[in-house]
């Protein structure tokens, strides 16, 4: 069982915590991580690209001129795709790119991502992260003490003071434990967990 130091906001060790090997000590498989990240990014796609088809164009359905005798092409109505302003034939329609992978695979990928951070010494556990005021300066003092320039910070509950203080700082993101996902863990260089989130993560991934 892995052991990790629990630090305070001044980066001083105050205790230790045991991390279960079933979550934090798994070999990483790039194929599984890639599949889950691709699924997440596909689900975020807007899928809002659209064109107007023939039936969406406003205009008369009357034949523009008679079939024979004019020497011109045999035109239909003014909404024909061959005419300027007519409807598009094979253009895109709004759609969803989202798809689901098995729950076991998603859990496994999340465990692998956590294992990578611990193995690379990029996992930091804090006893708490409470700011006295809603000020970016206070947040910067904390991350400077931890010597971290980019991190995903996971909290156990909504902390508006922390979220507002960090939103203008590039390279940092605040996330509640319920939203923990593979893409964000791998995107940021470090992962900062509050001590209170450890049991929630274990309950989610070992159930």
> Average pLDDT, stretch 36-40?
97
Mean pLDDT of 12-36: 93
CA angle in degrees (0–180, nearest 5) for 32-172-23: 35
Q: How many CB atoms lie within 10 A of CB 86?
A: 18
The pLDDT, as a whole number, for residue 102 is 96
Instruction: Inform me whether the pLDDT recorded for 115 exceeds 90.
Output: yes
| pLDDT at 2 (0 to 100) | 83
What is the distance between the terminal CA atoms of the chain, rounded to a whole angstrom? Answer: 19
Average confidence score pLDDT of the chain: 93
Instruction: Taking residues 30-42, report their average pLDDT.
Output: 97
Tell me how far apart the alpha carbons of residues 190 and 147 are, in angstroms, rounded to a whole number: 11
pLDDT tens figures, 60-69 = 999 999 999 9
In this predicted model, what pLDDT tens digit does every residue of 167-177 receive, in sequence order?
999 999 999 99
In this structure, what token pair is assigned to residue 88?
């598009």
Count other C-beta atoms under 10 Å from residue 1's C-beta: 9
What pLDDT score was predicted for residue 97? 97
Looking at residue 86, its pLDDT comes to 94
Q: Is 69 helix (H, G, I), strand (E, B) or coil?
A: coil
Q: Does the structure show a pLDDT above 90 at 10?
A: no
pLDDT digits (tens, 9 = 90+) for 194-204: 999 999 999 99
103 burial class (0-12, 13-18, 19+ CB within 10 angstroms)? exposed
- According to the model, what pLDDT value does residue 3 have? 87
pTM for the full model? Answer: 0.84
DSSP of 41-55: HHHH--------BGG
**For 19, phi and psi rounded to 5 degrees?**
-115, 130
Handedness of CA 127, 118, 188, 100 (dihedral sign): negative
Cα 30 to Cα 42, 79, 113, 186, 203: the distances in Å are 18, 51, 10, 12, 25
**Cβ–Cβ under 8 Å, residues 76 and 66:** no
CB 171 within 8 A of CB 149: yes
Query: Residue 77's pLDDT is what?
Result: 93
With H, G, I as helix, E, B as strand and everything else as coil, classify residue 125.
strand
Partner residues linked to 193 by β-bridges = 125, 154
Going by pLDDT thresholds of 50, 70 and 90, the confidence category of residue 1 is: confident
- The mean pLDDT value for 84-101 works out to 95
What is the reported pLDDT for 207? 76
């Amino acid at each position: 069982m892995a052991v990790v130091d629990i630090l305070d906001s001044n980066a001083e060790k105050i205790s230790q915590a045991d991390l279960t090997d079933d979550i934090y000590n798994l070999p990483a498989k790039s194929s599984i991580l890639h599949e889950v990240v691709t699924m997440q990014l596909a689900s975020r796609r807007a899928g809002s690209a659209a064109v107007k088809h023939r039936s969406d164009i406003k205009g008369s359905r009357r034949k523009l001129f008679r079939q024979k005798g004019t020497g011109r092409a045999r035109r239909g109505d003014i909404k024909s795709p061959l005419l300027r302003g007519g409807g598009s034939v094979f253009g895109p329609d709004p759609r969803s790119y989202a798809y689901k992978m098995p729950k076991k695979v998603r859990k496994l990928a999340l465990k692998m991502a956590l294992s990578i951070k611990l193995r690379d010494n990029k996992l930091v556990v804090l006893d708490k992260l409470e700011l006295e005021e809603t000020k970016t300066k206070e947040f910067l003092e904390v991350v400077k003490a931890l010597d971290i320039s980019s991190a995903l910070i996971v909290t156990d509950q909504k902390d508006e003071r922390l979220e507002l203080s960090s939103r203008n700082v590039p390279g940092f993101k605040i996330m509640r434990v319920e939203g923990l996902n593979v893409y964000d863990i791998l995107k940021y260089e470090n992962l900062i967990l509050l001590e209170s989130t450890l049991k929630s993560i274990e309950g989610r991934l070992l159930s």
